[in-house]
């Protein structure tokens, strides 16, 4: 099966690309390399350097590749940045996504697997969060992803494109070869591990006065290898609709720091900082639908195992993908 992977040089897209190739898929990666890394793209994949914001570029690529399905990861994904520069998020995530969808319509591509997010729910009325929960994003990132879900829901009705929305909770961890390397890095686990490595002085805890047991935000951290598996399941014939991808267990910022201390054996100093705009207090998935309907069988449900994999990766590649490998 031939597939096009947008954002295949990014953190999650690169892991899914590797997994697809290992399972015999013919993969073309489409990526502008603005935030992704050429070195993260598996050498077995074809590669097109291009930006979804240029409609003609994605049209040409789609017509050339003519995939049977598209897996769409290419997007900006930083909550904090999205509240400072929301226009970037609507232009790239929504505008770029619409160019991609238009190219799919033009070329008659029948299936999309979309990298969506729990940020589309905003602060949920109930935790854990199931797929029926109201989607009321509290940051521009979540709104841009929800906007694209809505567009694709109409294109399913009107153009028959089958879409699967995989709403990730917090992607984390690393495989042997592939890990998290953003510049600037804003995510909790890599930031904590940078302190353990001695490359930054202290972890800043964004808010210690949330209505949670230890006052810090709770998230459902999911290993990227488990996320990758869900994409292969989503590609199967007849699968469509939204699936939450989380383990149903939450860890607070302080619990993540404690786990990293245990695993690294390092002290990891931390300090309390003001809340970050757009952060809901707790996001934990009710993942039953993915287990039942997708047949998802996650392997890394233990936070320590996730952090251990990330710790292994940062020690092996302390400069990330900077040095081409
Ligand atoms: N966080 C923090 N310090 C950091 C980075 C993140 O306290 O250096 C907090 C952040 O405010 C949120 C949680 O950790 O409550 C997870 O943030 P991350 O950016 O990793 O993922 P997000 O939930 O924003 O997708």
Model confidence pLDDT, tens digit, residues 120-161? 999 999 999 999 999 999 999 999 999 999 999 999 999 999
CA of 188 to the centre of ligand 1 (A): 5
71: domain CATH number is 3.40.50.720
CA of 253 to the centre of ligand 1 (A): 7
176 within a domain of the structure (yes/no): no
Q: How does residue 323 score in pLDDT terms, banded at 50, 70 and 90? A: low
Tell me: do 163 and 300 sit in the same domain. no
Tell me: do 72 and 195 sit in the same domain. no
Give Cα separations from 2 to 19, 28, 35, 292 (angstroms).
14, 8, 25, 27
Tens-digit pLDDT profile for residues 250-308: 999 999 999 999 999 999 999 999 999 889 999 999 989 999 999 999 999 999 999 99
181 within a domain of the structure (yes/no): no
Tell me: do 238 and 310 sit in the same domain. no
Q: Could you give the number of structural domains in the chain?
A: 2
Ligand 1 pocket, residue 59 CB under 6 Å: no
At 322 the pLDDT is: 79
281 within a domain of the structure (yes/no): yes
- pLDDT mean over 2-7: 99
Q: How does residue 205 score in pLDDT terms, banded at 50, 70 and 90? A: very high
Q: Whose CA is nearest to atom 21 of ligand 1?
A: 187
Tens-digit pLDDT profile for residues 12-58: 999 999 999 999 999 999 999 999 999 999 999 999 999 999 999 99
Q: Mean pLDDT across the chain, nearest whole number?
A: 97
Ligand 1 pocket, residue 204 CB under 6 Å: yes
Mention every residue, 6+ apart, whose C-beta is less than 8 A from residue 32: 49, 50, 51, 52, 74
**Other Cβ atoms within 10 Å of 214 Cβ, number:** 14
Tell me: do 195 and 283 sit in the same domain. yes
The boundaries of the domain holding residue 274 are: 188-219+249-316
152 within a domain of the structure (yes/no): yes
The closest alpha carbon to 176, from 304, 309, 12, 308, belongs to: 309
31 within a domain of the structure (yes/no): yes
258: domain CATH number is 3.90.25.10
Tens-digit pLDDT profile for residues 72-116: 999 999 999 999 999 999 999 999 999 999 999 999 999 999 999
At 24 the pLDDT is: 98
261 within a domain of the structure (yes/no): yes
Q: How many angstroms separate the CA atoms of 82 and 294, rounded?
A: 31
At 325 the pLDDT is: 47
Ligand 1 pocket, residue 205 CB under 6 Å: yes
Tell me: do 38 and 167 sit in the same domain. yes
Residue 300 a catalytic site member: no
Q: Whose CA is nearest to atom 19 of ligand 1?
A: 187
- pLDDT mean over 304-319: 97
Give Cα separations from 218 to 121, 255, 308 (angstroms).
15, 9, 19
Question: Which residue's structure tokens are 């929800």?
Answer: 146
CA of 212 to the centre of ligand 1 (A): 15
Ligand 1 pocket, residue 187 CB under 6 Å: yes
Q: Say if residue 168's pLDDT is above 70.
A: yes
Tell me: do 49 and 157 sit in the same domain. yes
323 within a domain of the structure (yes/no): no
Ligand 1 pocket, residue 168 CB under 6 Å: no
Active-site residue among 11, 76, 89, 141? 141
Q: How many angstroms separate the CA atoms of 128 and 136, rounded?
A: 16
117 CA closest ligand 1 atom index: 25
Tell me: do 241 and 263 sit in the same domain. no
Tell me: do 29 and 106 sit in the same domain. yes
182 within a domain of the structure (yes/no): no
Ligand 1 pocket, residue 70 CB under 6 Å: no
């Amino acid at each position: 099966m031939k597939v096009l992977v947008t954002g295949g040089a990014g953190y999650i897209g690169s892991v899914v690309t590797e997994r697809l190739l290992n399972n015999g898929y013919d993969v073309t990666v489409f990526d502008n390399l603005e935030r992704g890394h050429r070195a993260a793209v598996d050498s077995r994949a074809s590669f097109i350097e291009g930006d979804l914001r240029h409609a003609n570029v994605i049209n040409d690529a789609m017509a050339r590749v003519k995939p049977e399905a598209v897996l769409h990861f290419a997007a900006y994904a930083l909550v904090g940045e999205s509240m400072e520069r929301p226009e970037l998020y609507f232009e790239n995530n929504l505008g770029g996504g619409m160019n991609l969808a238009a190219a799919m319509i033009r070329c008659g591509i029948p299936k999309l697997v979309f990298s969506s997010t729990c940020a589309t729910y905003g602060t949920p009325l109930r935790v854990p969060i199931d797929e029926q929960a109201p989607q009321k994003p509290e940051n521009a990132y979540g709104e841009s992803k929800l906007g694209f879900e809505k567009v694709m829901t109409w294109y399913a009705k009107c153009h028959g494109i089958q879409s699967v929305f995989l709403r990730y909770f917090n992607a984390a961890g690393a495989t042997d070869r592939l890990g998290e390397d953003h510049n600037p890095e804003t995510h909790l686990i890599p930031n904590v591990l940078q302190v353990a490595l001695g490359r930054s002085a202290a972890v800043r805890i964004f808010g210690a006065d949330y209505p949670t047991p230890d006052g810090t935000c709770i998230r459902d951290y999911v290993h990227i290898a488990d996320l990758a598996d869900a994409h292969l399941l989503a590609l199967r014939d007849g699968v469509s609709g939204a699936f939450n991808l989380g383990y149903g267990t939450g860890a607070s910022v302080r619990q993540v720091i404690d786990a990293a201390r245990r695993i690294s054996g390092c002290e990891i100093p931390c300090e309390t900082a003001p809340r970050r705009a757009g952060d809901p207090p707790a996001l934990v998935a009710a993942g039953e639908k993915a287990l039942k309907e997708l047949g998802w069988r996650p392997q890394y449900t233990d936070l320590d195992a996730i952090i251990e994999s990330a710790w292994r990766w940062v020690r092996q590649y302390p400069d990330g993908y900077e040095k081409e490998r």
